[in-house]
Amino acid sequence: MKRENKLIYLDYNATTPTDPRVVDKMLPYFYDIPGNAASRSHAFGWEAEEAVKIARKQIADLIHVDPKEIVFTSGATESDNLALKGIIELYHRSGNHIITLKSEHKAVLDTCEKLERAGAEVTYLDVDKNGLVDLIALENAITDKTVLVSIMWANNEIGVIQPMKAIGDICHRKGVLLMSDATQAVGKIPLDPKEVGVHLLAFTAHKMYGPKGVGALYVCSKNPRVKVSEQINGGGHERSMRSGTLNVPGIVGFGAAAEICAKEMLAEAPRLSALRDKLENALLTIEETYVNGDVDNRLPHVTNLAFRYIESEGLMATFNQSVALATGSACTSASIDPSHVLMALGLSEGMAHSSVRFSLGRFTTEEEIDRTITLVKNGVIKMRDKNPIWELFKDGVDVDNL
């Protein structure tokens, strides 16, 4: 059902609308073809199994891996959990040390904290002011007990892309496995985990115009052969790495979304980066506005801006939430704490609370960008006019040291 009001959706990093072409592919598997892909004694099951096989290949082709290396899950959070817990459990005789970044998604950080409580050792590396890993610090952190390095390909809040090839080379030299949460990158930019030396890759359908509730974990099967210990037991599905009846309609939609991304993402990227740059450049004309994160190594559709001397939630209230934006990760939006990602960049709490993420997507129009620019500019002016700190700043007072 279409909305009657003109809400603008610029929160594509939280989730994407399901592409109508994807929905069309899914619909028959809710009723006409209702089989369980594990039911091999009748035609309904065979058809479901074949549909899963096709989707598995579509998804594998998008990231240039073998279809048998794709393990289906309920989403990227489960994929992260499966990779981290599954590796530590299966490779515990080789070591119990994980290295990750302070700016990782909570699905990684919270899982690492749980593993620490169970006896694992975790090193949380700093990132620089642009959100990038220090490669020398990473190499120095690897010990003879390190079994896994986990670094996200592209950050969900600031869009910064890590130097995955350089990271992969370090892990290869040191003989440790490399995992990446690539949830924001898959379907947005070309990825080849084998080429850069990533052994496990977590991602999900709903960030790439597919349905919610279905994700995947790429697990390298050769050079080296990697396995993860099953975390959900009950039947030995997915090569005994993830039991449970497969979500056939979701998987079909995932495959369709992957195929569309493979065909269209290279054309989508310049359009989206042009719209993003138009939005960003217009808003940077507002005094005391800054880009958070590296501007040279980032996803084409994301910008995270800090508007000093305002509060981001208050800014959104000035236009009655008629533009869907993010003031933090969607997975931690209930928290009043400042973004851990922005704090990892070295921002003050005030700057973190004044920051807004704009994430564009396939259905974003230039008209929506123009309207957003006007609403945000007016909103910032309105908020600052009511803020006595802004008045002091304009009078030349050093408000940061009051």
CA neighbours closer than 13 Å in the CB half-sphere of residue 296:
3
The pLDDT assigned to 349 comes to 94
User: Are 135 and 105 spatial neighbours (Cβ–Cβ below 8 Å)?
Assistant: no
Q: What is the pLDDT of residue 335?
A: 55
pLDDT < 70 regions, the chain? 1-5, 328-335, 402
Task: Let me know whether 67 and 157 are in one domain.
Answer: yes
Residue 307 shares a structural domain with residue 238: no
Kindly list the distances between the CA atom of residue 301 and the CA atoms of 86, 154, 160, 329, in Å, as whole numbers in the listed order: 33, 12, 11, 16
Other CB atoms closer than 10 Å to residue 12's CB: what's the count? Answer: 26
Tell me what pLDDT residue 398 has.
Answer: 84
Contact 327, 312 (CB under 8 A): yes
Q: Looking at the structure, do residues 354 and 226 belong to the same domain, yes or no?
A: no
Pair (66, 89) in one structural domain: yes
Tokens matching residue 156: 């969900």
Q: Is 177 a member of any domain?
A: yes
For residue 362, give the CATH number of its domain.
Answer: 3.90.1150.10
Answer whether residue 44 is part of any domain: yes
Selected catalytic residue, list 112, 171, 220, 331: 331
pLDDT, tens digit, for every residue of 146-160?
999 999 999 999 999
Structure letter (DSSP) for residue 36: -
Please tell me whether residues 92 and 239 are part of one structural domain.
yes
Q: Are residues 93 and 203 in the same domain?
A: yes
At residue 330, what is the residue type?
Answer: A
Range of the domain at 292: 8-14+265-401
Same domain, 270 and 242: no
What span, in angstroms and rounded, lies between the C-alpha atoms of 98 and 13? Answer: 27
User: Among this protein's residues, is 331 annotated catalytic?
Assistant: yes
Report yes or no on 250 lying in a domain. Answer: yes
Amino acid 1: pLDDT = 41
The DSSP code for 74 is S
- Classify residue 3: in a domain, yes or no: no
